[in-house]
Amino acid sequence: MAMTSKLNVEALRREFPALSREVAGRPAVFFDGPAGSQAPQRVIDAISDYLANRNANHGGLFATSVESDAMLDDVHRAAAALFGARDAECTIFGANMTSLTFALSRALARTRQPGDEVLVTRLDHDANVTPWVLAARDAGATVKHVEINRDDCTLDLDDLRSKLSPRTKLVAVGAASNAVGTVNPVAEVCKLAHEAGALSFVDAVHFAPHALPDVEAWGCDFAACSAYKFFGPHLGLLWGRRELLESLPAYKVRPASDDLPGRWMTGTQSHEAIAGLGAAIDYLCELGDAAGKDQNSGAGHTARKPSIRARLVAAYDAITAYERPLGAKLLSGLREVADVRVLGITDPARLAERVPTVSITHRRLSPQAVAQRLADRGIFVWHGNFYALEVSTALGLEPQGMVRIGLLHYNTPEEVDRLIGALAEL
């Protein structure tokens, strides 16, 4: 059952300065990744190096601007590889996923008419709900909500099918739930959307720290993620099909370029954060190289340097192979703790349908009380609804929400044991 790990977790943890933090004389346990992961030193260095050596606005003829633009081009290429896309000009950077989604939703609203319909889901973060709801309202379009199966927190695909119609213009779906960890059948949802003549938008924010986005395999029209969830700085990423990005009426100022990606990157960007994103993708690529090295050792490999995409595929294979047994350990440990109820998929045979983001409730203590007691013991978890308001409401958990334990590839079995021990003590 247990897959052999190709990650040297002890070594990679040393790259993350934050992970050496102590609370009350013991190492802190960072299970807060779904709200933002920690950053490796090279990301921190890339940001400072940009500000120290290349800090310039876009499009100048002088050295720092030329170097800065070269860096931007490189990172657009790396971001395209992360999305599984070929066209670097179709990757857009912005403040965060929410802002980018609002910008896209407003542009799409300008193409809508009263009577058009938009589908959002009860499993999604509000950043993949409210931008579409408000844009539909502006255009006089109707919004329909796809329900979830409450027992395992999966999307109700029959409900989705029943709500699609020739009037549906967009289906917005999450790749993975930031509250209960469910991984959605994105390719199937996008296929259903296209069969109905609708566009599809995939929120890959919670997916990207655990698994590699693949816009081609998903067959989606747009996808978005956030660098600060996968070891980078605060920065949003959006990918879209070229013909749509070129033709949609983006909100932009007149002097700004009408070419891609500029027409969607309004205002001056955080170039230092983009440099940091480049370093985060580089970090992931090197995880892939290290995992691949073990596999190929002794094979007398003389092949060309693999592509960024191939290196990322190797990295995420190694991440999944490490995270899945760790998630299984967490779920089996939680099963033994009296008073704790786990939300979402718990069946060990179905772990491929979830990421190791596990939310729980406690029979006697509020989510806030549990999070506080864990914080006192140096274990960092989030409580509340994490903006996944629809899920929390659908599960009857509002206003208190739940406690979320988010595992990433830098977490360890010992940390899981500490959490289980602490929960048992409550």
Give least dist CB 236 to ligand PLP, A.
Answer: 5
Q: Does 37 bind ligand PLP (CB under 6 A)?
A: no
Q: Does 205 bind ligand PLP (CB under 6 A)?
A: yes
Give least dist CB 391 to ligand PLP, A.
Answer: 11
Candidate ranges 90-98, 129-137, 315-323, 357-365; the one touching ligand PLP (CB under 6 A): 90-98
Q: Does 33 bind ligand PLP (CB under 6 A)?
A: no
Q: What are the residues whose beta carbons fall under 8 Å from the beta carbon of 372, sequence distance 6 or more?
A: none
Cα first-last separation, the chain: 31
CA triple 260-266-267, angle to 5 deg = 130
Q: Does 178 bind ligand PLP (CB under 6 A)?
A: yes
In whole angstroms, what is the distance from residue 86 CA to residue 308 CA?
Answer: 11
List strand residue ranges (DSSP E) for 31-110, in order.
Answer: 91-94
Question: Based on CB atoms, which residue is closest to ligand PLP, 101 or 168?
Answer: 101
Backbone φ/ψ region at 11: left (φ over 0), alpha (ψ -120 to 50), beta: alpha
Q: Does 359 bind ligand PLP (CB under 6 A)?
A: no
In whole angstroms, what is the distance from residue 120 CA to residue 25 CA?
Answer: 46
CB 236 within 8 A of CB 100: yes
Count residues contacting ligand PLP (CB under 6 A)?
13
Question: Based on CB atoms, which residue is closest to ligand PLP, 98 or 269?
Answer: 98
Question: Based on CB atoms, which residue is closest to ligand PLP, 81 or 235?
Answer: 235
Give least dist CB 225 to ligand PLP, A.
Answer: 8
Q: Does 136 bind ligand PLP (CB under 6 A)?
A: no
Q: Does 168 bind ligand PLP (CB under 6 A)?
A: no
Q: Does 206 bind ligand PLP (CB under 6 A)?
A: yes
Task: Please confirm whether the linkage preceding 399 is cis (ω < 30° from 0).
Answer: yes
Q: Does 109 bind ligand PLP (CB under 6 A)?
A: no
**Token pair 């409580």 is at which residue?**
383
Q: Using the rule CB under 6 A, which residue among 154, 226, 359, 385 binds ligand PLP?
A: 226
Q: Does 404 bind ligand PLP (CB under 6 A)?
A: no
Q: Does 98 bind ligand PLP (CB under 6 A)?
A: yes
Question: Based on CB atoms, which residue is closest to ligand PLP, 228 or 410?
Answer: 228
CB 365 within 8 A of CB 424: no
Q: What are the residues whose beta carbons fall under 8 Å from the beta carbon of 182, sequence distance 6 or more?
A: 123, 152, 153, 154, 155, 176, 344, 345, 353, 354
In whole angstroms, what is the distance from residue 328 CA to residue 320 CA?
Answer: 12
Candidate ranges 40-48, 123-131, 301-309, 396-404; the one touching ligand PLP (CB under 6 A): 123-131
In whole angstroms, what is the distance from residue 132 CA to residue 126 CA?
Answer: 10
Candidate ranges 70-78, 93-101, 208-216, 358-366; the one touching ligand PLP (CB under 6 A): 93-101
Q: Using the rule CB under 6 A, which residue among 116, 203, 282, 415 binds ligand PLP?
A: 203
Question: Based on CB atoms, which residue is closest to ligand PLP, 98 or 266?
Answer: 98
Question: Based on CB atoms, which residue is closest to ligand PLP, 198 or 224?
Answer: 224
The radius of gyration of the chain from alpha carbons, rounded to an integer in Å, stands at 22
Given the DSSP bridges, would you call strands 199-203 and 168-174 parallel, antiparallel or unpaired?
parallel
Identify the CA nearest to 178 among candidates 358, 379, 369.
358
Q: Does 121 bind ligand PLP (CB under 6 A)?
A: no
Give least dist CB 271 to ligand PLP, A.
Answer: 18
Q: Does 105 bind ligand PLP (CB under 6 A)?
A: no
Tell me, residue by residue from 272 to 291, as one string, x for binding to ligand PLP by CB under 6 A and - for no binding.
Answer: --------------------
- Show the tokens assigned to 174: 């999450």
Question: Based on CB atoms, which residue is closest to ligand PLP, 236 or 384?
Answer: 236
Given the DSSP bridges, would you call strands 148-149 and 154-155 parallel, antiparallel or unpaired?
antiparallel
Q: Does 210 bind ligand PLP (CB under 6 A)?
A: no
- Show the tokens assigned to 104: 């896209």
Question: Based on CB atoms, which residue is closest to ligand PLP, 238 or 318?
Answer: 238
Q: Does 174 bind ligand PLP (CB under 6 A)?
A: yes
Q: Does 127 bind ligand PLP (CB under 6 A)?
A: yes
Burial class (CB in 10 A: 0-12, 13-18, 19+), 396: exposed
Give least dist CB 306 to ligand PLP, A.
Answer: 29
Give least dist CB 335 to ligand PLP, A.
Answer: 26
Phi, psi of 14 (to 5 degrees): -65, -20
**Mind giving me the DSSP string for 202-234?**
EE-TTTTTTS---HHHHT-SEEEEEGGGTTS-S
Residues constituting the chain: 426
**Where does this chain bind ligand PLP (CB under 6 A)?**
96-98, 125, 127-128, 174, 178, 203, 205-206, 226, 236
